[in-house]
Amino acid sequence: CRPKVHLQWASGSQPVRKLSVVSLLPQKLKDFVEDSVRLCRPSNVYVCDGSEAENSMLIELLLENRTIVPLPKYQNCFLARSCPRDVARVESRTFICTTNRRDAVNVPRGSAKGMLGNWMSLEDADSAVAERFLGCMVGRTMYVIPFSMGPLDSPYSKLGVQLTDSAYVVCSMRIMTRIGTKVLEKLDSLDDGGNGVGYFVKALHSVGRPADGPVQHPHWPCDPDRTIILHKPEMNEIISYGSGYGGNSLLGKKCFALRIGSSIARREGWLAEHMLILGVTNPKGRKRYVVAAFPSACGKTNMAMMQPTLPGYKVECVGDDIVWMRFDRNGQLRAINPEFGFFGVAPGTSRSTNPVAMDTVFKNTIFTNVAQTSDGGVYWEGMDKLEPGVTVTDWQGNPWTPGSTPAAHPNSRFCTPAEQCPIIDADWQSPEGVPIDAILFGGRRPAGVPLVYEAFDWKHGVYVGASMKSEATAAAEHKGKEIMHDPFAMRPFFGYNFGHYLQHWLSMETASPNVKVPKVFHVNWFRKDDQGKFMWPGYGENCRVLDWILRRIDNEPGTAQQTPIGIVPTRESFDARGLDVDFDGLFSVPIDFWTEEAKEVAHFLYEQVDEDLPKDIQDQINNLFSRLSLY
């Protein structure tokens, strides 16, 4: 019962020409497609060319299936409502699969539970796949999406091919990555070097179908009970089953660009990180680029699109979520954004919080799980006021009244082309990347953590990244406002053992004799006062923090005040003009709090990383304790 493999050429909604795919695809890709066809048994195979016509055909199909509805208020925008059980990443079902466990995940001390990723053996992964994928695409089309992470002409870019049975995924991948014939041509021209490791990342995805009983939501088929996301870094493979949602299904993003990417990066001597990239120009016209790592749903998109309030400042956006970076021949750190679009959190986005995003997302955008207005628009919590007379349908399709349950799901998203961003940086697709002068780490920390502090040096900076914590958000299945460890904002995205990851970061400093490591900072926009009120206005005012950071990069005298945890601004060097904020409160370093914090972080690192905790990090822990006790 072997289905025929066809390459369909579409015009409008009618497939008009069928060609045998066998003779046309590069051998390795052909093998991948054929093996997957034997497993999944789709009724059709369609190779995506990435064209406008193809996209229109798929949108037409999605409208017919009611997976999406049009949003006539805007230009070429659509809304998808997912199955309510398929609304976020599923970290508990996400695995790194390797021959040896210790390569994939940290090995905690004693019986402690590993908090930094899940491992599965290759044999168990094979059984999980066999149980789920056999015949999972019967009656469906398998789409073949050749995609590039990074600009096609960049030496830093990597290619992938995703097979999926979801047209929603194809349309979203087309926004989030560079897809189609051009990628296929590049892939064809590459040589795999015969080393057996794929020279493109193989990514197999199915939304699945429940083992017992019919698909619950015909417009959003999925199999939440058996969702599983597998990564095989030794083979450059990703296999994802059961979910159509963002980070679980757009496999170029977290699965490739972070998990497989970090593992490739370690082998090749560079860094794949969960960071935004922005360019900031000061009033003197000096432009610098910085990267910043915050956990999911902590405002990376807002910061990447910041509208500075300080006169003469300008921010431009290179990326809002993922960075691939390496030191160039001159020892300068350079970064590319491997993505092509923004998959941003909608709630909280408004004309006042992120006007640039508001100017970006109302054309050519797929919204997922936001609310819909009676005049054919969208709505979410924290958006601007509703126009009078307009009624709202919530993210599940039910009538909504203000004050009742959330109109939009807290993890609802916009998926929008980066090139539409009015402040997209002129060099955002530069093949050699942009030069990076500072690395920022941050999180949601209601207590104790200053607005900004600078690490003493690179090794201390690596410790600061390792010690990151943040309040849980809606981006994954976690409940409540618990403060979780989230080292480097990578907790759900490490592709290999966190101890080895720390060693890799430490090794960057001596990667070559001329390496100039950037300064490292920690920021926290979310400190609260005794009344539980945010102490810092955030958003555009965060440029004041960037202003201080730029002064530090320039080694401006009189800008540094030493504390046991790092360097904070002197009052004179931090521009708080016109703001009514409690400077001392914002920058205080409460010693009792930090002694507890340092102990807790040390406990976490020793327990989680145990024998793989690098000596340099152990030294950093000890140094911090002695600085705190001397204080």
Q: Is residue 538 classed exposed, middle or buried when 0-12, 13-18 and 19+ CB atoms within 10 A define those classes?
A: middle
Query: Residue 489 — left, alpha, or beta (φ > 0 → left; ψ -120 to 50 → alpha)?
Result: left
**Interface residue list for ligand SAT (CB under 6 A):** 89, 246-247, 253-254, 296, 343, 475
Q: Closest approach of Cβ 338 to Mn ion, in Å?
A: 13
Q: Closest approach of Cβ 296 to Mn ion, in Å?
A: 4
Q: Closest approach of Cβ 388 to ligand SAT, in Å?
A: 34
CB atoms within 10 A of CB 207: 28
Q: Which is nearer to ligand SAT, 42 or 410 (CB)?
A: 410
Please give the residues from 261 up to 300 whose contact with Mn ion meets the rule CB under 5 A.
296
Active site residue: 298, 317, 415, 421, which one? 298
Please give the residues from 307 up to 366 whose contact with Mn ion meets the rule CB under 5 A.
321
Q: Which is nearer to ligand SAT, 206 or 411 (CB)?
A: 411
Residue closest to ligand SAT, measured at CB: 247
Q: Closest approach of Cβ 368 to ligand SAT, in Å?
A: 10
Would strands 434-442 and 287-293 be described as parallel, antiparallel, or unpaired?
parallel
Indicate the SS3 state at residue 305: coil
C-alpha to C-alpha distance for 627 and 161, rounded to whole angstroms: 51
Q: Closest approach of Cβ 473 to ligand SAT, in Å?
A: 8
Among Mn ion, ligand SAT, none, what does residue 36 contact (CB within 5–8 Å per kind)? none
Q: Which is nearer to ligand SAT, 106 or 473 (CB)?
A: 473
Q: Closest approach of Cβ 305 to ligand SAT, in Å?
A: 16
CA distances 329 to 337, 351, 514, Å, are 20, 42, 8
Q: Which is nearer to ligand SAT, 317 or 628 (CB)?
A: 317
Token pair for residue 527?
């400190």
Q: Which is nearer to Mn ion, 321 or 547 (CB)?
A: 321
Token pair for residue 209?
């179908």
Q: Closest approach of Cβ 321 to Mn ion, in Å?
A: 4
Token pair for residue 168?
């929603």
Would strands 237-241 and 201-206 be described as parallel, antiparallel, or unpaired?
parallel
- Continuous segment of H or E residues that includes residue 62: helix 52-64
Among ligand SAT, Mn ion, none, what does residue 247 contact (CB within 5–8 Å per kind)? ligand SAT
- Asked whether 590 and 553 are in contact (CB, 8 A), the reply is no
- Identify any residues that bridge with 314 across adjacent strands, giving them in sequence order: 281
C-alpha to C-alpha distance for 32 and 247, rounded to whole angstroms: 22
Q: Which is nearer to ligand SAT, 274 or 460 (CB)?
A: 274
Indicate the SS3 state at residue 606: helix
Q: Closest approach of Cβ 530 to ligand SAT, in Å?
A: 32
Among Mn ion, ligand SAT, none, what does residue 253 contact (CB within 5–8 Å per kind)? ligand SAT
Q: Which is nearer to ligand SAT, 247 or 461 (CB)?
A: 247
Q: Which is nearer to ligand SAT, 26 or 417 (CB)?
A: 417
- Identify any residues that bridge with 291 across adjacent strands, giving them in sequence order: 277, 439
298 is catalytic: yes
CB atoms within 10 A of CB 403: 5
Complete DSSP assignment for 366-396: EEES-EEETTS-EE-TTSSPPPTT--EE-TT
The site for Mn ion, by CB under 5 A, has a size of 2
Binding of residue 454 to Mn ion (CB under 5 A): no
CA distances 7 to 30, 48, 137, 163, Å, are 12, 9, 17, 14
Token pair for residue 51?
């064209």
C-alpha to C-alpha distance for 336 and 486, rounded to whole angstroms: 23
- Asked whether 290 and 437 are in contact (CB, 8 A), the reply is yes
Indicate the SS3 state at residue 351: coil
- Asked whether 96 and 233 are in contact (CB, 8 A), the reply is yes
Residues binding Mn ion (CB under 5 A): 296, 321
Q: Which residues are catalytic?
A: 298
